[in-house]
Structure 1
């Protein structure tokens, strides 16, 4: 279905090189032309496989599809059928190229083998589920629902390993690269830092608190609900996106907000870093266009023009290629240059 990846020495683009590289490029649409854009209506989540051989997309119309990035026609893709409700999140196992997890808002997590096109395991009864993340070693999954429940799952078990109840619901989550901590954005604008798999607060305040007040240290970077969180590949920055249209960048040494990205318009639903951590982009549900920002300086580097809002964004794990949703379909930019470099 997909070509084998050839790992080559990778070049990080400077700020000037980045804009020059992408300026002449055009995005490529991945869509079922016969059925129209509505065949993939409401694309909510995008995930690249670890080596970049596959792109998985999950949509509000229950469509779960795995694409070959090199071939944009639908006949070269695979539709994985089985979900009976809107798909909220898809995520490839970070250490297995062909293992994919998906979660739908009827409380079902499914584990797929994308090569055989089969569902190899499922876990039911997770409530109004909306969040999912693999542990970095690929041996477990953390899922969550809008009621604040967190579920520790094994990809090989059809029952929940353990359940943890939060007082506030979460919308997405991200692991640290050691797998020992999980970052949880909350609807009150905070970001919790919990141990994994115990799911207990890692940091505490070093000053006195009043009676009944929590001593848990949380990150505060938003005036409205925090909706998404992403750790940079270098582990240096944690990016958070909120309903206040802001992306905040925290350093992971002192947990201070180093800079904020404010040119976005509308709730920030997804965030993605380039493979080298040099650039970051946020996906909003209300505004068109994607603004790329230099992580270290906060400088706006380049704008990808789009026809409509782009709720889901995902940089490829090994190259400067960006996948994003636009008017209900998947688009990818940067593959043209990658092909030219391979020749």
Structure 2
């Protein structure tokens, strides 16, 4: 039997998209933290949602019949959980970056912390490579550390002399992207970290970057409102 999700006709035009969201305009609130939420993310299979908070915890929700049901709350960080990201192909693993100078990997099956990796600074951004082999984490001092997920050790570090805002990978995990405070996107090869090009994307601070599912395009957001 075919999955009904796979037989749905994709929405192709803007008006149809607007109509769809207008007819599905339902908002539900879920209270899982005692302080502000810094990051949310869906697992690769779309069945779990994680949220990271200033209260030092990570909440896991299961999606059941269009409703979220809280499954578990991970605790262990001694500082704010500033960003999280899921494994690109393993729906039970996620990683978190914290102000406590550590990265943690959590297993939602066992409800345990699978690894704790110490880092040199207060971490504010994190990206798991699509092939699953490397986690990149950036701290407040613009140092980016690369963690081998087999050994759970930092294998290399790169110090930048500009404000690093967000980090990302391409689908094949051989290009590494970062946005900076000068409105640019830096693209480097990985693991050599050789600079390939610098795109002047915005007149203001380039804050965020996101790749489309095909890997052909990426979008950036900036303090210039673009």
- Measure how far apart 1:40 and its partner are: 4.6
Partner SS state of residue 221, structure 2: strand
Partner SS state of residue 83, structure 2: strand
Structure 1: which 5+ residue stretches go unaligned? 33-38, 203-216, 247-343
Distance 2:8 2:145 in 1: 37
List per-residue Cα deviations over 1:70-91 (Å, max 9, x = no partner): 2435xx3210111111111111
Distance 2:143 2:192 in 1: 14
Structure 2: which 5+ residue stretches go unaligned? none
Query: What is the aligned counterpart of 2:201 among 214, 217, 221?
Result: 221
- Measure how far apart 1:185 and its partner are: 0.2
Pair 1:12 & 2:21 matched: no
CA RMSD of aligned residues (A): 1.8
Match of residue 72 from structure 1: 68
Q: How many residues align?
A: 220
TM-score by length of 2: 0.90
Partner SS state of residue 7, structure 2: coil
Match of residue 315 from structure 1: none
Larger gyration radius, structure 1 or structure 2: 1
List per-residue Cα deviations over 1:34-65 (Å, max 9, x = no partner): xxxxx353211111111101011111221211
Q: Is the 8 A contact 1:80 1:118 kept in 2?
A: yes
Match of residue 163 from structure 1: 157
Residue 102 and residue 190 in structure 1: after superposition, are their counterparts in 2 closer, same or farther (change >3 A)?
Answer: same
Q: Is the 8 A contact 1:111 1:155 kept in 2?
A: no
- Measure how far apart 1:158 and its partner are: 3.9
Distance 2:38 2:125 in 1: 12
- Measure how far apart 1:93 and its partner are: 0.4
Distance 2:34 2:187 in 1: 35
Distance 1:243 1:63 in 2: 29
Match of residue 212 from structure 2: 232
Q: Is the 8 A contact 1:50 1:93 kept in 2?
A: yes
| Relative contact order, higher structure (CA 8 A, sep 6+) | 1
TM-score by length of 1: 0.61
Q: Is the 8 A contact 2:211 2:219 kept in 1?
A: yes
